[in-house]
Structure 1
Amino acid sequence: MPENVSSDTGRIPLSSRQDWCWEWTRSYDPASYSMDLTWALRLRGSLDVGALRDAVAEVTSRHDALRLALVTGTAHPLDDPRPVQRVTGGYVPLDVVGVGASHSSEEAIDRITSLPLDLTGPLVRLTLIRLAPDEHVFVLAFHHMVFDGASRRILMRELTEAYNRRMGAMSTPAPTADFSYVDFARRDNAPDVLASKRLRVADRARVLREHGSAEPLGGTGVALSALTGDYRLIPMTFTTGQVTSIRRSARAARISVYSLLLAALVRSVGEVYGRDRLVGTTIAHGRTEAGSTSAIGLFCAPVEMAFDLGVRDPADFLHHVHGAVRHAANLADLPSGEKASSVLVREGDDAFFRTCLSHLDFRLTGITGLVLDRPDGPIPFHGLDARLWEYPRTFPELIYASAQAARGNAGTLFLDLRMSDGELTGFLCYEAGYHDESSVRAVADLFRRLTVQLPLLTGRLQGA
């Protein structure tokens, strides 16, 4: 067994990071949505399947998060409001399948990539599809309960190194397991830690209530109870020149691009909806323990940030928002379910949607702080042309498991922006049965204006 990995295969409580994901998973009708992260690698060339299988075994035996399975007390896992988990097996197997005569390669790939994970079994599924002797598709599927975005980078680095070592292309020894997710989850649930968290949850709930967390943005459907949402998008585009100006402004203000854009969004929502305080959600990386930066598992967590719009000076407001973003990393360990129950009233054992405590949610992809993220390029498998393969995935219409989950999502405005070819493009998303379209468009228009004007507002900081 890998070094420092617990040999106890008994019951393990969910970590606080897994808590929010389980709430989110239970927010949906299981036939509607699967909380899995799936991607595919197209491998062209002479693949050594045995070496890949051994590499998979090496990496998955080192990271116990990849071998976790849920243990519930019900026949239907999603009926369990708080399951536990256990470690299964010594490694995750690699399934190798061919394309049958009755299916095309596209049909075979679609069948594998569209297959949701079964919550009663392993939360990881690795499949190699053989299309031809020199062409394969490697499909990797993980439930979000055991995997996050940072895990993907760690997994691909270790998997390629393990394969290349077996192909004689690397001489470095395999890394040791210096961090156990199982032990992390147990430490996270130690009695003294839980007692401290209860006090911190109570304090955070007070702050969120003071900032109107239980008072949703005014809309046309405050009592929305439909279990399906009518979500609509308002396109957003910032040109290369505008992006350059935004980055220059962020550098001048000594804040991240994310914080700068979030400040413009918060101000826009506050002005249009007449709010002097708001709550927004960000994703905190959550890797705060020593050794966790090289560990696979779910560490990230949605964290609520409290904003005071009474801070009118533009420069002061930018730093107010940036401070809230930075502080979010210190709150990733607070269990979302308990926090939401402290602010709202849980209806029976219904789950809380991940943004139920927030008025707005902002995602920014492809640009971090002051530098651009590197796009995904070739994956360095020795002797292979290995690349991420963009494949279409189709999902049925989203259906929520309860009215509480539906309301928890409908009241939030979602801004999603992505860097592409030097431009920022994306959309402002809203639920049309809840929000008045004219109000949301007013937010979008004001956000565009404020974002373009920010260079003027922060220009006086250039010499600071």
Structure 2
Amino acid sequence: NNQPGISQATVQLREDQPGDQRLVAYIVTTDEYDETTLRDAVAHALPDYMRPTAYVTLDALPLTPNGKLDRKALPTPTYTPTTNGRTPRTPREEILCGLYAEILGVGDVTIDDNFFDLGGHSLLATRLVSRVRSTLGVELPIRQLFETPTVAGLADALDTSGTVRTALTAKPRPERVPLSYAQQRLWFLHQLEGPSATYNIPTTLRLTGVLDHDALRAATGDLIARHESLRTVFTEDEQGAYQIVLPAEVAATPFTVVDVSEEEVADRVAEAASYPFDLTADLPVRMWLFRVSEQEHVLLLLVHHIASDAWSRTPLAQDLTAAYTARRAGDAPAWQALPVQYADYALWQQDVLGDETDADSLAGRQLDYWKRQLADLPEQLDLPTDRPRPATADHTGDRVTFTVPAELHTRLTDLARSTNTTTFMVLQAALATLLTRHGAGEDIPIGTPIAGRTDDATDHLIGFFVNTLVLRTDTSGNPTFRDLLTRVRDTDLTAYAHQDLPFERLVEALNPTRSLAHHPLFQ
């Protein structure tokens, strides 16, 4: 506030896209304000990772009725790069600048801008790789992006990139559409356990104000019509499991309005969230609207994991909101048609992976890598637990919350930047170090979920794409932490480059000792 032209200011950490956190400054200005002067002052006073990514000028900071800052009323910013770099010199550089801007949600990008300095991370890097593949027709190893993160450096590196894989497009479908590998995983468990709430994904919202029930019901139907994954049921025959996409006109909208008292809401929501989906007959989505009063509602949107994942929450929320807005105005939603549906992805996945017994197929090459990478993996880590592991895992657990102090977080991100790694890699190395020092040995396999959306045609789909990677960390030889980070970085980047092989196929191929007591390949 000691800068000229600024009367009030606040800096907020925003996450407008899941997993994409940005610092944003909101300032109330006077005629003396100059953004360049402010940016220079901030750059002089703070390291780059503590500087706001965007500056939003307001006439006044929004306040709640009791006079506090109303964070929810702060507008979504428009991000702009801060590097004063060169403009594109070639068509390829111009396209890459556009892809950087698209993926990172920033303004004009120069060829000297660094992907990670603009807020990039591993998840966004995977998206960029997909967009480069579909737009430029070349295969970009994710490792290359870490090694040459500027547009100029990446453009030079792409000259030697490999052949692109087949793009995901909508093609004529066979009469019998197989399950994706991720769906097969949950279908097997459904057959084993029967209808269950184990893999339910609930989302609840408390809504205050006038709500148009009919418009919301219609919008739910619009959502189900738009996304085939939400009107798919499953069955199997002598050839195995397959999916049946119901026509939109016969897929009944599972929308229920329930009158409840305020005291009943929590119990009724919990009860509804435990609905046991029968995947052979039920649509994998249901919605309840609990009406407390004409001005107070609680909305529960329940989706089975076989039809959705964490990434899916964004397109689901965007499409439901757009449909409700249109229906309230008496119109049908005028959204752009989806380029593909989940069934197209399931067929494409089998085509791209190929036969894993073929050494030249994508599945064959990736399986060969994982066999070598995970050879002689320890069956399980020997940890000094305070009680014996049960003979059969009961899958109960707990969550321990803690706060990382701001100073420590600053040091963690500083270390990541100075070693050309990510905060995830730093924490992975720390976890491996901790486990080794607790007697788990020097060969530490750590499991992590990944988004699994390796083609940009899947970005706006609701569906189940998640896969699992095993990140094997070698802590032997008493390395320094920076040396260990180098090992982790190399392991992770190579693992990301071999992320297409479904985890279940890997387990089948490696055939580790099976146990009801613990998970295969990692704990």
- Asked whether the 8 Å contact 2:447–2:468 carries over to 1, the reply is yes
User: Residue 203 of structure 2 aligns with which residue?
Assistant: 39
User: Residue 321 of structure 1 aligns with which residue?
Assistant: 488
User: Residue 305 of structure 1 aligns with which residue?
Assistant: 471
Pick one of 278, 284, 309 that aligns with 2:444: 278
Cα drift, residue 239 of structure 1:
2.3
Cα drift, residue 130 of structure 1:
2.6
Pick one of 353, 374, 377 that aligns with 1:213: 377
User: Residue 14 of structure 1 aligns with which residue?
Assistant: 179
| 1:226 matched to 2:392 | yes
| 1:289 matched to 2:450 | no
Structure with the bigger RCO (C-alpha within 8 Å, sep 6+) is: 1
Q: Which is worse superposed, 49-58 or 142-151? A: 49-58
| 1:263 matched to 2:429 | yes
Cα drift, residue 332 of structure 1:
3.5
Cα distance in structure 2, aligned partners of 1:49 and 1:89: 24
User: Residue 316 of structure 2 aligns with which residue?
Assistant: 155
User: Residue 110 of structure 1 aligns with which residue?
Assistant: 270
Cα distance in structure 2, aligned partners of 1:318 and 1:269: 15
Cα distance in structure 2, aligned partners of 1:50 and 1:5: 33
Structure ranking higher in strand proportion: 1
User: Residue 430 of structure 1 aligns with which residue?
Assistant: none
Matches within 5 A, 1:48-447: 48-72=212-236, 83-90=241-248, 93-99=253-259, 104-120=264-280, 121-168=282-329, 173-190=334-351, 193-195=354-356, 196-200=361-365, 202-210=367-375, 212-218=376-382, 225-228=391-394, 237-273=403-439, 275-310=441-476, 312-345=479-512, 404-408=515-519
Cα distance in structure 2, aligned partners of 1:341 and 1:137: 44
- Asked whether the 8 Å contact 2:259–2:291 carries over to 1, the reply is yes
SS at match of 2:257: strand
| CA separation of 1:265 and 1:227: change in aligned 2, threshold 3 A | closer
**Residue identity matched to 1:306:** R
- Asked whether the 8 Å contact 2:448–2:470 carries over to 1, the reply is yes
- Asked whether the 8 Å contact 2:315–2:460 carries over to 1, the reply is yes
| CA separation of 1:264 and 1:94: change in aligned 2, threshold 3 A | same
- Asked whether the 8 Å contact 2:379–2:513 carries over to 1, the reply is no
Cα distance in structure 1, aligned partners of 2:406 and 2:481: 24
Cα distance in structure 2, aligned partners of 1:97 and 1:240: 45
Cα distance in structure 1, aligned partners of 2:184 and 2:421: 31
| CA separation of 1:322 and 1:60: change in aligned 2, threshold 3 A | farther
- Asked whether the 8 Å contact 2:374–2:472 carries over to 1, the reply is no
Gaps of 5+ in 1: 75-79, 348-403, 414-464
| CA separation of 1:161 and 1:223: change in aligned 2, threshold 3 A | closer
- Asked whether the 8 Å contact 2:201–2:303 carries over to 1, the reply is yes
Q: Deviations over 1:56-79 (max 9, x none)?
A: 2222212112222221359xxxxx
| CA separation of 1:192 and 1:33: change in aligned 2, threshold 3 A | closer
RMSD: 3.7
| CA separation of 1:51 and 1:323: change in aligned 2, threshold 3 A | farther
**Residue identity matched to 1:309:** T
Cα drift, residue 181 of structure 1:
0.8
**Residue identity matched to 2:337:** T
Cα drift, residue 320 of structure 1:
2.7
Cα distance in structure 1, aligned partners of 2:394 and 2:353: 41
SS at match of 1:150: coil
Cα drift, residue 222 of structure 1:
9.4
Gaps of 5+ in 2: 1-168
Cα distance in structure 2, aligned partners of 1:70 and 1:107: 31
- Asked whether the 8 Å contact 1:129–1:138 carries over to 2, the reply is yes
| CA separation of 1:307 and 1:29: change in aligned 2, threshold 3 A | same
SS at match of 2:206: strand
**Residue identity matched to 2:510:** V
Q: State the TM-score, normalizing by the size of structure 1.
A: 0.64
Structure number with larger C-alpha Rg: 2
SS at match of 2:311: helix
Q: Deviations over 1:269-316 (max 9, x none)?
A: 234336333322111111111311121111121111232334724334
Cα distance in structure 2, aligned partners of 1:92 and 1:283: 33
SS at match of 1:37: strand
Cα distance in structure 2, aligned partners of 1:67 and 1:237: 41
Q: State the TM-score, normalizing by the size of structure 2.
A: 0.57
| CA separation of 1:297 and 1:265: change in aligned 2, threshold 3 A | same
Q: Which is worse superposed, 198-207 or 244-253? A: 198-207
**Residue identity matched to 1:40:** T
SS at match of 1:247: helix
- Asked whether the 8 Å contact 2:208–2:296 carries over to 1, the reply is yes
Cα drift, residue 140 of structure 1:
0.9
Percent sequence identity is 24
Cα distance in structure 1, aligned partners of 2:440 and 2:269: 50
Aligned length: 344
Q: Deviations over 1:201-254 (max 9, x none)?
A: 5414423432x4352213589995335367577775532322222222222223
Cα distance in structure 1, aligned partners of 2:399 and 2:212: 45
Cα distance in structure 2, aligned partners of 1:41 and 1:160: 13
Cα distance in structure 2, aligned partners of 1:10 and 1:46: 46
| CA separation of 1:308 and 1:169: change in aligned 2, threshold 3 A | farther
Cα drift, residue 331 of structure 1:
3.4
- Asked whether the 8 Å contact 2:215–2:327 carries over to 1, the reply is yes
SS at match of 1:41: strand
**Residue identity matched to 1:406:** A
Q: Deviations over 1:377-397 (max 9, x none)?
A: xxxxxxxxxxxxxxxxxxxxx
| CA separation of 1:259 and 1:22: change in aligned 2, threshold 3 A | farther
| CA separation of 1:247 and 1:170: change in aligned 2, threshold 3 A | farther
| CA separation of 1:237 and 1:174: change in aligned 2, threshold 3 A | closer
Cα drift, residue 259 of structure 1:
1.1
